[in-house]
Amino acid sequence: MQDAVYQAVYQRSLNDPESFWAEAAEDIHWFRRWDRVLDDRNKPFYRWFSGGELNTCYNALDVHVEQGRADQAALIYDSAVTARIKTWTYRELRDQVARVAGMLRAQGVGKGDRVVIYMPMVPEAVMAMLACARIGAIHAVVFGGFAAPELASRIDDAQPRLVITASCGLEPGRTVEYKPLLDTAIDIARHKPERCLIVQRSQYPATLSQERDRDWDQQLAAAAAVDCVPVAATDPLYILHTSGTTGTPKGIVRDNGGHAVAMKWSMKNVYDVGAGEVYWAASDIGWVVGHSYIVYAPLLKGCTTILYEGKPVGTPDPGAFWRVISQHQVSVLFTAPTAIRAIKKEDPDGQQRRKYDLSSLRTLFLAGERCDSDTLTWSKQLLGVPVIDHWWQTETAWAIGANCMGIQALPIKPGSPTRAVPGYDVRCFDEHGNDAAPGTIGNIVIRLPLPPGTFPTLWNNDERFVHGYMARFPGYYLSGDAGYLDTDGYLWIMSRIDDIINVAGHRLSTGAIEEVLASHTDVAECAVVGVADALKGQVPVGLVVLKAGAEIDPTLLSQQLIERVRERIGPVASFRTVGVVKRLPKTRSGKILRGTMRDMADGKPYKMPPTIDDPHILVEIAEALRTLGYTVVDAPR
Ligand code: COA
Ligand code: AMP
């Protein structure tokens, strides 16, 4: 295989990580250089660039203003839902962020304080994130599609001094009123933030509480610009909560130093993008893709980044992405396969694409879920550019497996995110921690240390960090993904080993949905499984057993459960299917056979588990799934 250039870089990153990343760190402005590149004195809590001091906002904005990019566009806000486009140059964005930072400081926010940001895709959200970085405050962004209790659990974990929200978000055909959601969340939360800042949108101005709430515009008008504060490389830049195997989300911590180095390095080496180019990650700031590739990496690199408020379809049509690419001369687009599937579903022949000049587009990157070959092939033919699948997680902030276009473009195998990215020593282990043979599915693990930018720990929870990720195979990070390496060293990421599911590129815990179903007074027990869906990749399906004597009508019960998941977790869960069954299939030791039920709903031939308590239950489950519209094949005898 012709991969010598990639191999040389990859091997150097593993053989001598300290000099590799020290060299990359020269591309960042430091107020004080580091004492140690890699601090491994407290394994498995590795720290990068300890002793160093920098400011992420300085590197993302001020540096470019001072080094000749002041008049280049930094941020383009393209709102398909309000038909508004606004551009900020690097100078304008720096000046605005400096004032937002002054406003935060006037609210009492200082270094190390947490700020929860619960916002739609409006420019104030990006400014708030960068302003936190400017003064050394730690932001915790909560995705707008989460309901009040999810927001409350994140408020309790992060204990913010300030919460920033907008009066509303605009979903196609629906206005999401954030303010009442915030009020409910603060009612539920044990931690009561002292202050909330509200961006009032004309579509739905909210009523503010006199004591607690302040109007963003009014406060900003009175704010003075403030300078960047040096922070330790190891100080947290942000917390981002992600689904774990329980209902309690995990607060992924991101440091300042390693993150800035990795982000900037990845723009050239993974995406092959240079300063001055337009880079668009069509994601949401509430997810890690939004943090890394809408906000931090493109700005650190001196690119123009796009904040797109809209959907791939319906705002107004399936040509929306192509319109944005041609209008803003996008070089690289990054989105989720589900977005491409949505476009393909509405415009299978690609009629819309023909309306636009897409000559600026060089590469399409996909991530967030397993990329099926159809999506890859269809988008490649439609756009005529390389389509690159890459694999990563909230925990890592950047790609673990990719075809690194800035190092050496390798042959593509559809369905594989190609090879391990420099910095990541990716292995596939069997249950005993031995290397699995090529082509054999096992646990995908990464040998420690993880490279810069990856999470040093979980917020306030070192124990869960060790227990959840580092304990299973000491010396290795357990990714939670199952897959294999083939004989060419290509990675294949097949599924999760835990109860995490991926719904339209969004990571959700079936355990958390089960907790909601189980809280209904008529439900004795339940199981939620992620069933294959042609558009969203997976959708959650619930199977519930009624308590003895419960007389509720099954249709009413499903409506109540669907509504309850929407209210407690949020519409983003896309929970729309519940079946009532007499019993759930279990092993003799009492473990619910979720995998078997998932295979049944997916129409796969499933094996009769040898440990099953009562095989007849599967006949009942098959009947229930057929009633819900699934094609269940008969179990092999
Ligand atoms: N705020 C409030 N509600 C939101 C929301 C937000 N930021 N984002 C989604 N929702 C709501 C939607 O309005 C919808 O509500 P509904 O049940 O009332 O219709 C629900 O959550 C499910 O949303 P979604 O998963 O977006 O499904 P959809 O059917 O509206 O759209 C897609 C389907 C494929 C177009 C859409 O999921 C999509 O654009 N996916 C790309 C995902 C992505 O970029 N992920 C980032 C990972 S890289
Ligand atoms: P998140 O933390 O929300 O980014 O979700 C990370 C999870 O999404 C991973 O652990 C995988 O299960 C899945 N995932 C992300 N990208 C890919 C990909 N390219 N191929 C397969 N699975 C992916």
The number of the ligand nearest the C-alpha atom of 168 reads 1
393 Cβ inside 6 Å of ligand 2: yes
Return the residue whose CA atom lies nearest to atom 45 of ligand 1: 505
Which is nearest to 79 in space by CA: 266, 410, 320, 242? 320
Mean pLDDT of all residues in the chain?
Answer: 96
State in Å: Cα 216 to ligand 2 middle: 35
The verdict on 479 and 540 lying in the same domain is: no
The verdict on 191 and 251 lying in the same domain is: yes
Q: Which domain holds residue 293?
A: 4-310+390-483
pLDDT at 530 over 70: yes
The verdict on 398 and 541 lying in the same domain is: no
pLDDT at 134 over 60: yes
Q: Token pair of 276, please? A: 């001055």
Q: Is the residue at 331 inside a domain?
A: no
DSSP structure class, residue 592: B
* Peptide bond connecting 474 to the previous residue in cis, omega within 30 degrees of 0: no
State in Å: Cα 472 to ligand 2 middle: 20
- Within a 10 A sphere around the Cβ of 27, how many other Cβ atoms? 14
Determine how β-strand 419-420 pairs with β-strand 401-402. Answer: antiparallel
DSSP structure class, residue 399: -
The verdict on 582 and 453 lying in the same domain is: no
pLDDT bin (cut points 50, 70, 90) of residue 120 is very high
* % of the chain residues with pLDDT over 90: 93
Whole-number pLDDT of residue 246: 67
339 Cβ inside 6 Å of ligand 1: yes
Q: How far is CA 583 from the centre of its chain?
A: 35
The verdict on 471 and 517 lying in the same domain is: no
Q: Is the residue at 385 inside a domain?
A: no
State in Å: Cα 454 to ligand 2 middle: 15
The CA distance from 588 to 613, in Å, is 5
492 Cβ inside 6 Å of ligand 2: no
The number of the ligand nearest the C-alpha atom of 311 reads 1
Q: Token pair of 59, please? A: 């590197």
* % of the chain residues with pLDDT over 70: 99
The CA distance from 426 to 301, in Å, is 27
Which is nearest to 227 in space by CA: 125, 136, 116, 107? 136
Phi, psi of 419 (to 5 degrees): -115, 170
145 Cβ inside 6 Å of ligand 1: yes
Whole-number pLDDT of residue 244: 74
Q: Is the residue at 366 inside a domain?
A: no
The verdict on 168 and 66 lying in the same domain is: yes
The number of the ligand nearest the C-alpha atom of 122 reads 1
The verdict on 63 and 197 lying in the same domain is: yes
The verdict on 103 and 235 lying in the same domain is: yes
Determine how β-strand 419-420 pairs with β-strand 250-255. Answer: unpaired
Axis crossing angle, helix 17-25 with helix 257-269, rounded to the nearest 10: 90
CB 125 within 8 A of CB 141: yes
Q: Token pair of 5, please? A: 């250039």
State in Å: Cα 376 to ligand 1 middle: 21
In the Cβ-directed half-sphere of 187, how many Cα atoms lie within 13 Å? 7
For a pocket test of ligand 2, which of 250, 493, 494, 538 has the largest count of ligand atoms closer than 8 A to its C-beta?
A: 493
Domain count, the chain: 2
The CA distance from 330 to 340, in Å, is 17
The CA distance from 189 to 118, in Å, is 15
Phi, psi of 389 (to 5 degrees): -85, 135
Phi, psi of 475 (to 5 degrees): 90, -5
CB 483 within 8 A of CB 441: yes
Q: Is the residue at 374 inside a domain?
A: no
E strand or H helix that includes residue 356 = none
- Own/partner pairs for 69-74, CB < 8 Å, 24+ apart? 69/275, 69/276, 69/302, 72/276, 72/302, 72/304, 73/278, 73/304, 74/299, 74/304, 74/305
The CA distance from 518 to 524, in Å, is 7
| Helix ranges (DSSP H) in 489-578 | 510-518, 554-568
Tokens 């390095």 sit on residue: 265
Q: Is the residue at 61 inside a domain?
A: yes
Q: The CATH number of the domain where 524 resides is what?
A: 3.30.300.30
Which is nearest to 615 in space by CA: 589, 587, 594, 580? 587
Q: Token pair of 534, please? A: 């042609």
Which is nearest to 425 in space by CA: 20, 25, 26? 20
The CA distance from 360 to 159, in Å, is 44
622: Cβ contacts below 8 Å, ≥ 6 apart? 600, 632, 634, 635
Q: How far is CA 349 from the centre of its chain?
A: 30
State in Å: Cα 339 to ligand 1 middle: 10
The CA distance from 390 to 252, in Å, is 20
The CA distance from 133 to 112, in Å, is 10
Length of the chain: 637
CB 380 within 8 A of CB 365: no
The verdict on 456 and 529 lying in the same domain is: no
pLDDT at 151 over 60: yes
Helix and strand element counts for the chain (H, E): 20, 31
148 Cβ inside 6 Å of ligand 1: no
Q: Is the residue at 317 inside a domain?
A: no
More confident residue, 470 or 507: 470
pLDDT at 4 over 70: yes
CB 544 within 8 A of CB 552: no
The number of the ligand nearest the C-alpha atom of 145 reads 1
Give first-to-last CA distance, the chain, whole Å. 44
Domain boundary pick from 483, 518, 542? 483
DSSP per position, 149-160: HHHHHHHHHH--
For a pocket test of ligand 2, which of 502, 506, 509, 536 has the largest count of ligand atoms closer than 8 A to its C-beta?
A: 502
pLDDT at 563 over 60: yes
Return the residue whose CA atom lies nearest to atom 9 of ligand 2: 393
pLDDT at 616 over 90: no
The number of the ligand nearest the C-alpha atom of 310 reads 1
Whole-number pLDDT of residue 614: 83
Residue-wise pLDDT tens digits, 418-477 = 999 999 999 999 999 999 999 999 999 999 999 999 999 999 999 999 999 999 999 999
401 Cβ inside 6 Å of ligand 2: no
Q: Token pair of 614, please? A: 């009562």
Domain boundary pick from 432, 448, 483? 483
Q: Is the residue at 492 inside a domain?
A: no
State in Å: Cα 496 to ligand 2 middle: 9
Does residue 309 sit in helix, strand or coil?
strand
369 Cβ inside 6 Å of ligand 2: yes
Q: Token pair of 156, please? A: 């309790």
Whole-number pLDDT of residue 612: 80
CA distances from 73 to 4, 67, 77, 106, 266 (A): 37, 14, 11, 29, 21
pLDDT bin (cut points 50, 70, 90) of residue 555 is very high
424: Cβ contacts below 8 Å, ≥ 6 apart? 400, 401, 446, 450, 451
Whole-number pLDDT of residue 637: 52
Strands (E), 213-346: 213-215, 231-232, 236-242, 250-255, 278-281, 304-309, 332-335
Q: Token pair of 579, please? A: 């079946």
In the Cβ-directed half-sphere of 568, how many Cα atoms lie within 13 Å? 18
Whole-number pLDDT of residue 609: 80
The verdict on 434 and 540 lying in the same domain is: no
Residue-wise pLDDT tens digits, 565-607 = 999 999 999 999 999 999 999 988 888 999 899 999 999 988 7
Whole-number pLDDT of residue 634: 77
State in Å: Cα 572 to ligand 1 middle: 6
Beta bridge partners of 86: 77
The verdict on 174 and 269 lying in the same domain is: yes
3: Cβ contacts below 8 Å, ≥ 6 apart? 408, 410, 419
Mean pLDDT of 473-488: 97
CA distances from 586 to 312, 448, 507, 515, 613 (A): 41, 37, 26, 18, 6
Q: Is the residue at 415 inside a domain?
A: yes
More confident residue, 210 or 323: 323
pLDDT at 314 over 80: yes
Whole-number pLDDT of residue 450: 98
Range scoring the smallest mean pLDDT among 77-86, 221-230, 241-250, 310-319: 241-250
pLDDT at 217 over 80: yes
Q: Token pair of 563, please? A: 């509504």
The verdict on 522 and 474 lying in the same domain is: no
Q: The CATH number of the domain where 230 resides is what?
A: 3.40.50.12780
CB 635 within 8 A of CB 603: no
Phi, psi of 569 (to 5 degrees): -105, -45
Nearest ligand 1 atom to alpha carbon 286 = 7
The CA distance from 173 to 8, in Å, is 52
Nearest ligand 2 atom to alpha carbon 494 = 21
Residue-wise pLDDT tens digits, 6-46 = 999 999 999 999 999 999 999 999 999 999 999 999 999 99
The number of the ligand nearest the C-alpha atom of 478 reads 2
Which is nearest to 483 in space by CA: 637, 635, 370? 370
Whole-number pLDDT of residue 1: 64
Domain boundary pick from 415, 448, 483? 483
Q: How far is CA 364 from the centre of its chain?
A: 18
**Residue 197 burial (C-beta neighbours within 10 Å; 0-12, 13-18, 19+):** buried
pLDDT bin (cut points 50, 70, 90) of residue 247 is low
